[in-house]
Structure 1
Amino acid sequence: MMEEIIQEDKELFLYLNNLGDTPFDQFWIIVSDKWIWIPLYVIFFYFLYKNFKLKSLLYILVFAAIGITVSDQVSGIFKYGVARLRPCNDPSLQNLMRIVKCGGPYGFYSAHASNTFFLATYLGLLLKDKLKWFPYFIVIWAIVVAYSRIYLGVHFPMDIFAGAFAGIVFGLMFFLLVKKVMSRQTVSEN
């Protein structure tokens, strides 16, 4: 059964990866680069700053930093625990795929997907009542970043789905934690 799932995952990967074309490679490399998104993170910070009091904002930022760290580190534990080769390192796919970029040896599960879906969930839940459009925007952003990893040849779709799932779970957990801390803060101030 697991072999069939892995084979389906490889076939879906090959289909999605081979949709790419050389003129678009640089675009997807940029989308996948974490540093390119710093201006967007500044905009996210601005939205939080405009919608939350300073003390709540500090809690939100601390929990975001801890959540991203947890999301990223758990992904690393899974990568070496599961030890599934990245597509670009899988000898059975070498002549069948487009390798635009390659990473470390293992890819299950995607830290990019986990981290972006963490932010999408965490920030989307925090800002959904204040900026109705924001959750839709940030989820689309997370999907685009996650897809870039398949395009580049560094992750299978299953790596992306597992990473997105982990990011959503961590995002929800940290959202609930920060809401609890902020509500206690509000109660203690009254």
Structure 2
Amino acid sequence: MDELIAFDHNLFLELNSHHSPFWDAAMILISNKYVWFPFYGVLVGLFIYFYKRKGWLMVLSLGTSVGLADFISSGILKPTVARLRPCHDLTLGQVVNAVDGCGGQYGFVSSHAANAFAVAIFVIMLLPKKQWGFKLLLLVWAMAISYSRVYLGVHYPGDITGGALIGIATAWLSMYFYKQASERFSFWQS
């Protein structure tokens, strides 16, 4: 375990050490959850416009995916594991480039990564197979948000990996709920 933690610290230091004014501003923007609200609104609107009642079930299932991811990451794991963010770690504090402040005390797991992957994976599973370009774009979007957290100095790569896994798991669970509800209840068919 000590070797894994040391690897995580070293990888963090390498990824966090390369900065420029352009990328600082870009990563702050990418990491800002409010920037993505119009995207979420368009996504919800498209679900409802194209799928009517079934679209509302998609929105409910997507919300469940993100809500679970956020609750597990912020409500359960962060306070239970209590792993300090890199910018709060006294052994790293002097070398961390915390570009936009440090955030809360604990960082395992990243809620940004969990939520972004919960959205991306759920929508990827909803899309038809031929939509591979949009699927790839969603995956890149989730990875960019996740990487921004390391760049900004508030999460270790292990925090990101854990968050991504939580997001993927909640997306799969919510997709299971969505499929069961859409197949069993005729109300959601139209």
Counterpart position of 1:123: 123
Q: Which runs of 4+ in 1 moved over 4 A?
A: 186-190
Letter in 2 for 1:67: S
- CA distance in 2 between counterparts of 1:132 and 1:12 reads 31
- CA distance in 2 between counterparts of 1:56 and 1:132 reads 22
- CA distance in 2 between counterparts of 1:90 and 1:113 reads 20
Counterpart position of 2:184: 184
Which ranges in structure 2 are unaligned for 5 or more consecutive residues?
A: none
- CA distance in 1 between counterparts of 2:189 and 2:134 reads 29
Letter in 2 for 1:68: V
- CA distance in 1 between counterparts of 2:39 and 2:94 reads 37
| Cα shift at 1:24 | 2.2
Corresponding pairs, count: 188
- CA distance in 1 between counterparts of 2:120 and 2:157 reads 19
The change in CA–CA distance for 1:84 and 1:189 in structure 2 (over 3 A counts) is closer
Alignment partner of 2:104: what SS? coil
Letter in 2 for 1:125: M
- Is this contact kept in 2: 1:149–1:155, CA < 8 A? yes
Q: Deviations over 1:35-77 (max 9, x none)?
A: 101121133224423542x111111111222221111011021
1:154 aligns with 2:154: yes
The change in CA–CA distance for 1:62 and 1:188 in structure 2 (over 3 A counts) is closer
Q: Deviations over 1:125-157 (max 9, x none)?
A: 011347342211111100000001001110000
RMSD across aligned positions (CA): 1.9
Counterpart position of 1:28: 27
- CA distance in 2 between counterparts of 1:148 and 1:94 reads 18
Identity of aligned residues (%): 35
1:58 aligns with 2:73: no
Counterpart position of 1:164: 164
| Cα shift at 1:3 | 1.0
Counterpart position of 1:19: 18
- CA distance in 1 between counterparts of 2:188 and 2:78 reads 43
TM-score w.r.t. structure 1 length? 0.92
Which ranges in structure 1 are unaligned for 5 or more consecutive residues?
A: none
Once structures 1 and 2 are overlaid, which stretch shifts more, 16-25 or 68-77?
Answer: 16-25
